[in-house]
Structure formats: structure tokens, C-alpha cells
Chain A
Amino acid sequence: MLEALKSPIEAFQEFVLLSIRALRNIVRTPHYADDIFMQMDVIGVGSLFIVSLIGLFSGIVMALQMARALTQYGAQGQVGSIVAITLVRELGPVLTAVLVAGRNASGIASELGSMKVTEQIDAMRALGTDPIQKLVTPRLIATAVVLPLLTIISDFIGLIGGYFIASTMLGLTFSEYWTTAWQALEYNDIAQGLLKPFVFAIIIALVGCFYGMRTTGGTQGVGRATTRAVVSSSVWIFVLTAFITYVWNRVFVKS
């Protein structure tokens, strides 16, 4: 029993140590600004189209589903507020993070994994570079900066998708839709909707780097590391969104 627990506990310990060193390096020199901007481009600009597309269709689907339900109660005018609340609080952050996890946690794990199995990470250490400073911290900073921005874009495009349905199928005017959407949102919702992608970004970057940095077993090992990084970061996104929502509601929402 204890023997079976040894491996996962060791892995968790390694993950915690990697996280501490990566976070500590944010305030330590040297800083690899070029790598941070390059990663922002890869993760942010590279994900922009797919995140916008998914944001648009999630807004459309939300509006379609809500339109049917709200029409039964004659409350179709509230479609804007429901789409806004659902997207900003939950769907926007989670869907964007899952997409970025699929695209970038895998990319990070496979890139670092390939470097590990071809001795590039050992070479980096031997040449006097801290691989956590050079490889992990820039990816962590870049993801933590761009994921909240991507989420804002995704939320906004989702609202546009909702407006398209509200205007074409429910006959709502521009001001009817956007006024209810805007009024429905409290600062509380926006803060929650920005905290979540920030936390998810840290998890996506660290999980991707963790599996990449401990890759063994050649190209097959790289494949395994990539799969584990995507599965693990996706699961953590859902666990954490439930946890954050619960804590947020207990602490900040007055019933």
C-alpha cells in the first residue's frame, strides 16, 4: 500500500518544488524577456482565432438554449443577462482554458520533453543556464498574462454571438440586449471571471512544463508526457473552477 503511494507522492513533491522554483524565479535575475514575448506570441496570438471561434459559438448556443426556455415565461428580454453571466463567470474562463490546455500544455510538454530526451536540458544546465529560469518561468508568465486576455476576448465575442441570435430570432434591439447584458454583470462576476483564467494559466503552464521536464523513454515518452499534460491540466481546470466558485460564493456573495 505504502509502496504504491510512493510514486504519486514523489511526483507531487517534484511538482511542488518545480512550482516554487518557477514562481521564485519571477523576481530573480536573469530575466529572459525575449522568451516571454515569444511565448506570449505562441500562446496568445496563436490561440486567438480558435478561442474567438469557440467563444462565438458558445455565445450562440447559450442564446439559442436560453431563448427557448425564456420565451415560455415571456422573459426573452433577459437573454442578454443570462448569456453575459454564464459566459463571464464560467463558460468563458473554462472553455478558453481547456482549449489553451489542449493546444499549449501539449505543446509545452512535447517541446520540453523532446529537449529532455535529446539532452538539450542537460546541455543547458551544463552551459550554466537554469532550465527552470529559461524554459519554465517564461512560459508561466506568458500564460498567466495572455489567458485572462484571451478570456476577455472570448467572453466579448460570445456576447456578440448571443446578440446575433437575440436580434435575428428574438427580435431584440441592440440596446435591449446590451443594456441587460451590461447591467447583469457585477464587479464581483468580472473579478471571478478574471481570477479563474489566471489560476488556470498557472496550472496549464506548470503541468505542461512538469510533464515535459520529467520525460523519459525517447519519442514514446514524449507522446506519453503530452497526453498526461493535457488530461491532467484539463481535469485540474474543472476541479479548480468548482473550488473557486464554491469559495467565491461563500466569501463574496451575500445571500
Chain B
Amino acid sequence: MTQGDSTIVRFEDVSLHFGATAALDHVSFEMRPGETFVLLGAAGSGKTMLLKVAVGLVRPDSGRVSLFGQEITHLREQDLFDIRARVGILFQEGGLFDSLTIAENVAYPLTNQRILRHADNSNGRGSPRSIDDRVRESLSFVELEETVDKFPDELSGGMRRRVGIARAVVAEPALLLYDSPTAGLDPITANTIIALILKERDLRNTATIMVTHRYQDGHLMANFRYNPNSGQTERVERSAKDASQVSTRFLVMNAGRLVFEGTESELQASQDPYVRKFVRAGGA
């Protein structure tokens, strides 16, 4: 562990191979509290693997990964559970437990933390009632309160994604990872999802990494803010825009390598043909 390390996530020369294929190739970056990272890249470029390595779901072949200032590269699975409890993840496929109701799915991080705390013989934080309240609050956040007793397969793809967000944010994590939250959704639903991600980020100032192949998603993250007074997402004022762009950084991956890291302005100015493809496809 690095003493006094204020980074949320740090990758130092991280590589991961599957056979001869490099999923991650000497990847290095660091993320500080309150920052938003938008991770762009073609399918199979290693974006999802980067997220999985970041929370220790997959171990790298070489390099060092730190989460909340603690090196996790060689930690045992059991020791990772407490650290992961501070991270919320939305999986590409939703990752909802299909044998549990929506309420049980959303409550899972809370009930599970309670089980672990009881196992450690320490006092539980939440009573069943407060868990129920927090689940309803979280489902209300994604505007799906009416689905509590339904099962995941009774919901549409967009609704499942929103329930995934509710589950990711219910424990109020310090870091949120979104794996292709808008993949396969129509533009209206995709914008709803991005608005929810913005809302969570700006209400709680949560550090956020969003994997996407759509430049538009990153553009929204960099240029829009949730206004709690109006309850709407609004374009950032020109005077504040520079500051917001600094806190939203773009990373572009190609064949496991990090080929770009910078602000949206720098991304738009990049002459790299691979990077340009994403900006052009986004219509910028």
C-alpha cells in the first residue's frame, strides 16, 4: 500500500494476455477523487477487461493495480471483498440475479454487507427496515419503484440496465464503474441512462469510469451536469466548462493499449486516425 496515496484507481504498466492475445498491454493511468473517465474503444480492445482488472475480478500478468490507495494486485479474494464493497459496478449484461426479485437484487449489496459484518462479529449497520427504505429510494432514483416485486426477465433491456444502476448506487460507493451502459439501447433510453449516471455522479460527487463505444455518451458526461434544483440535466456554463472538462477525461484503447488520454478538447484535436474515428462517428 502506498501511504498517503489519494488516487482512486492507479494502473502501473499493467499487462494481461490470453494466449498470444494481449487484453491489456502495458496500461498505465491514475484517477483522482471526483474525476470522470470515459473509456472509448472498439469491441475487443480491452475496455471491459480493464474494468475487471481494476476491481480484482481478473488478475493481471504483470504490473500493479491500486484501488483507493491500496495495491490489490496480489490480494486474496477474501481480502478484496471489503474493498469491492466501496465500488458499484454496472455490468454490460446487467448482471442481475435472475432468481431474485428486483427488490432483492437491489438490496443485495446491503444484505450481503450485513452478512459479512455479522460473520466478522461486528454490529450490523442496517436493520431490515432501513434496507427496505434504501432499496425503494434507489429504485425511485431510477424511476422504477413499481417493479419491486418483478423478476429481471419481466423487464425490458433498458429497465434492467436502470435496475443495474440502482443496485450499483444503493450502497453509495466511492467509485462507480459502468460497462457499456448504453449498448444495444435506442437513443432515447440511452440518453435516459446517461442522465441517471450524470445525476448519480453530480449528486454524490462519485468518481466514475464509463466504458462505451459511443462518443456521444462521453460528450454528455463532459458537458452536462445534473441540477438538483431543477431536477434536470443542463449544459455546463461556458465559464465553468474548463473545470468540468478537466474532471472528465477520455481514454481510448486499441488492441489492449491505451492510445490516448486527455480532455475532450484534446480528443477532438487528436490527429491519431484511430482516435479520430470515434470523434467523427460521434459527429463532433
Contacts and interface: CB of A to CB of B under 8 A. Distances in A.
Contact of A126 (B89, B96, B97): B89
A119 B77 contact: no
A119 B78 contact: no
Interface stretch (A65-73, A127-135, A137-145): A127-135
B85 to A, nearest CB: 5
A118 B98 CA distance: 10
28 contacts: A29-B119, A118-B95, A119-B94, A119-B95, A120-B95, A120-B96, A123-B89, A123-B91, A123-B95, A123-B96, A124-B97, A125-B77, A125-B84, A126-B55, A126-B84, A126-B87, A126-B89, A126-B91, A126-B95, A127-B84, A127-B85, A127-B109, A128-B81, A128-B82, A128-B113, A129-B81, A129-B112, A130-B77
Interface of A: 29-30, 114-115, 118-120, 122-130
Nearest to B110: A127
B47 to A, nearest CB: 15
B57 interface: yes
B93 A119 contact: yes
B116 interface: yes
A128 B84 contact: yes
A125 B116 CA distance: 13
Given A30-B118, A130-B81, A125 B57 contact: yes
B92 interface: yes
A115 B95 CA distance: 8
Contacts of B85: 127-128
A29 B78 CA distance: 11
A127 B57 CA distance: 11
Contacts of B108: 127
Interface in B2-56: 52, 55
B269 interface: no
Given A30-B118, A127-B109, A119 B55 contact: no
Contact of B92 (A119, A124, A125): A119
Given A125-B77, A126-B57, A118 B93 contact: yes
